[in-house]
Amino acid sequence: MVTANASLTSLTAQRARRVAEGVPDPELPMLTLADLGVLRGVEVTDDGTVVASLTPTYSGCPAMAEMRADVASRLRAAGFERVEIRTELDPPWTTDWITPTGRRKLGEHGIAPPGPARRRPAGPVPLELSVSRRAVACPRCGSADTEETSRFASTSCKALWRCRACLEPFEYVKEI
Amino acid sequence: MSDDHVYLSLAEGHDDGDARWAFGTGFEDPLHGVDTTVPDGVDVGELTGRCLALADDALVGAQRLAQWCTRAPELEEEVALANIGLDLLGQARLLYARVGQADGTGRGEDAYAYFRDPGDFRNVRLAELPNGDFAFSTVRLLVLSCWRLAVFGRLATAAEDPVLAAVAAKGVNELAYHRQFAADWTLRLGDGTEESHRRMVAALREVAPYLGELLGAEPGFGIDAESVRDEVTEVLGQVLDAAGLTLPDSGTLAGSGRDGDHTVHLAPLLAELQSVARAHPEATW
């Protein structure tokens, strides 16, 4: 009986996870919250409450309240009555959590995906005074002849780049 | 969904704390669902005092950065300054929320941002000074982000409060971008034209007397103030050297924003920031 309940809970959790994983990001709607790596977990507690954990991309991400509401309403619409959304701040979100599918979708929509985030050694964060910018391939024509125009763009997680080959500007999800 | 009034119809059916129909209309606790217990052994007074000072630096700094909108020299820089302000605003919201939980009053972030008077604010005076020219704002951002990055880097491991430690750890990655932005501009302006160099020299002369206030105070949680000072001085030195600039020797101004002593510039800044909230207390829309 205990085993039966346990497997029932795990089936419920699987279904809840599938629902939560399908919720699109409000700013990058071609990506799901799972693709973006902000959905940190979906559990079902003993009393049947679905607990979904989300982490903000940046501290000031204005879409956080919307993400919470979206996940909760999708889960309720899928028949889960008791839903709880938790915020997880630790460990902080990193672009390394964007899934391979997420990276592919970004590229398909003209946004260059991030490279691997720099792993910093413990201690003070080093400053970069020499120009050691990353090579970012143009998501439209594939050329590596690109340049950064601004490290900040329409949302916190992106930088603005320009392709010198096809002359198109493009956005780039910067590593963090 | 009714078509009579587009805003009413957008809001329909979203009464259960659902903030999805527009940003800025349903701000809820940014620490929603975070375990907010203050661990045993944490000095609540110290925790709330430190969080408030760090939050006030960020809120006031964010307000100044936002004032560059439509005034920055290039559109890209305007977007950058607004983004940096947004990160700081996010850090302020998390920290204010933490203060309200820890001090036992259960007050939300708005109580701290909108319903305190200038004398209750604990930000350093450097954060509240008017924007001046782009050189002054660049030097100020460089100094404030160097210091904040040094302190957050230490708080991430030293703060006995897990919420503050997590906020700090998250902030480190953001502040590294802020400091880099300010450093890049310091190089470009300091090592730029005669005019840009002259303006950077003037900006450094204005900022220098406020360094003591920032570096003199104890960061708390057992963090060694000396090590923070060393890191900030070293990084500033690296950037200024590369930019052909030097930090002028200057005396330190008396008083400290950390004790509630402010310049005449804080009150008008807050009056603008708080006007809507105070005219319509507890309004929701």
pLDDT of residue A145: 93
Nearest to A152 among B83, B150, B176 (CB): B83
Average pLDDT over residues A110-114: 93
How many of the other CB atoms lie within 10 Å of CB of B25?
15
pLDDT at B22 (0 to 100)? 39
**Which pLDDT does position B1 carry in this prediction?**
39
In tens digits, chain B (285 residues) has pLDDT values of 344 454 444 444 444 444 444 334 444 678 877 887 888 889 999 999 999 999 999 999 999 999 999 999 888 899 999 999 999 999 999 999 999 999 988 888 999 999 999 999 999 999 999 999 999 999 999 999 999 999 999 999 988 899 999 999 999 999 999 999 999 999 999 999 999 999 999 999 999 999 999 998 888 888 999 999 999 999 999 999 999 999 998 888 999 999 999 999 999 999 999 999 899 887 776
Q: Which of B20, B24, B34 sits opposite A70 (nearest CB)?
A: B20
Phi/psi region, residue B11 (left: phi>0; alpha: psi -120 to 50; beta: rest), is alpha
ipTM rounded to 2 decimals? 0.87
Q: Is B285 on the interface with A (CB under 8 A)?
A: no
- Interface touch B170/A73, C-beta < 8 Å: no
Give residues 169 to 188 of B whose Cβ lies within 8 Å of A.
Answer: 169-174, 176-177, 179-181, 183, 187
> A-contacting residues of B 246-265, CB under 8 Å?
none
Taking the CA of residue A101 and the nearest CA in chain B, the distance in Å comes to 25
State yes or no: pLDDT of A130 exceeds 80.
no
Long-range Cβ contacts of A72-76 (<8 Å, 24+ apart):
A72/B18, A73/B18, A73/B20, A74/A19, A74/A20, A74/A22, A74/A23, A75/A16, A75/A19, A75/A20, A75/A50
Q: Which residue has the tokens 């020797």?
A: B249
| Under 8 Å between Cβ of A113 and A106 | yes
User: Are the C-beta atoms of residues A54 and A36 closer than 8 Å to each other?
Assistant: no
Residue B21's pLDDT is what?
42
**Residues A33, A23 contacting (CB under 8 angstroms):** yes
What are the structure tokens assigned to B260, written together? Answer: 């509630």
Quote the CATH superfamily of domain A2-93.
Answer: Fe-S cluster assembly (FSCA) (3.30.300.130)
- SS3 label, residue A137: coil
* Optimal mutation site among B32, B34, B83, interface A, most CBs of chain A within 10 A: B83
Pairwise CA distance, residues A33 & A23, whole Å: 6
Domains of chain B: 42-250+260-279 (1.20.1260.10)
pLDDT of residue B247: 94
Give residue B201's pLDDT.
98
Q: How far apart, in whole angstroms, are the C-alpha atoms of residue B22 and residue B43?
A: 39
Residues from chain B that touch A66, judged by Cβ atoms under 8 A, are: 19-20, 23
Q: Cβ B150–A124 below 8 Å, yes or no?
A: yes
Give residue B15's pLDDT.
Answer: 45
Confidence of residue A12 (pLDDT cuts 50, 70, 90): confident
Residues of B in contact with A63 (CB under 8 A): 23
Closest chain B residue by Cα to residue A154: B79
**Which pLDDT score, from 0 to 100, does residue A110 have?**
93
- What is the longest distance spanned by two Cα atoms in chain A? 66
| Identity of the residue in A124, A127, A152 whose CB atom sits nearest the CB atom of B79 | A152
Is residue B109 within 8 A of residue B96, CB to CB? The reply is yes
Tell me the residues of chain B between 47 and 106 that have a Cβ less than 8 Å away from chain A. Answer: 76-77, 79-80, 82-84, 86-91, 93-94
In this prediction, residue B17 carries a pLDDT of 46
**Cα–Cα distance between B26 and A85 in angstroms, integer?**
16
pLDDT of B28? 65
Q: Is the pLDDT of residue A123 over 90?
A: no
With CB atoms and an 8 Å threshold, state whether A58 touches B177: no
Q: Which residues of chain A neighbour B181 with C-beta distances below 8 Å?
A: 151-152
- Interface-testing mutation among B21, B77, B86, with chain A (most A C-beta atoms within 10 A): B86
Residue A149 pLDDT > 60: yes
H/E run at residue A102? helix A100-108
- Residue A30 tokens read as 């071609």
For chain A, the structural domain boundaries read 2-93, 109-115+134-173
Q: If you measure CA to CA, which chain A residue comes closest to B13?
A: A73
* pLDDT range class, residue A3, cuts 50, 70, 90: low
Position B149: which residue type? L
What does chain B look like in DSSP terms, one character per residue?
--SS-HHHHHHTT--SS--TTSTTSS---TTTTS--PPPTT--HHHHHHHHHHHHHHHHHHHHHHHTTTTTSSSHHHHHHHHHHHHHHHHHHHHHHHHHHHHTSS---HHHHHHS--GGG----HHHHS---SHHHHHHHHHHHHHHHHHHHHHHHHH-SSHHHHHHHHHHHHHHHHHHHHHHHHHHHHHTS-HHHHHHHHHHHHHHGGGHHHHHHS--STT--HHHHHHHHHHHHHHHHHHHT--PPP-PPPSS-GGGT---TTHHHHHHHHHHHHHHSTT---
- CA nearest A45: which of A3, A1, A83, A2? A83
Place of tokens 């990160």: B87
The secondary structure element, H or E, covering residue A6 is: helix A2-21
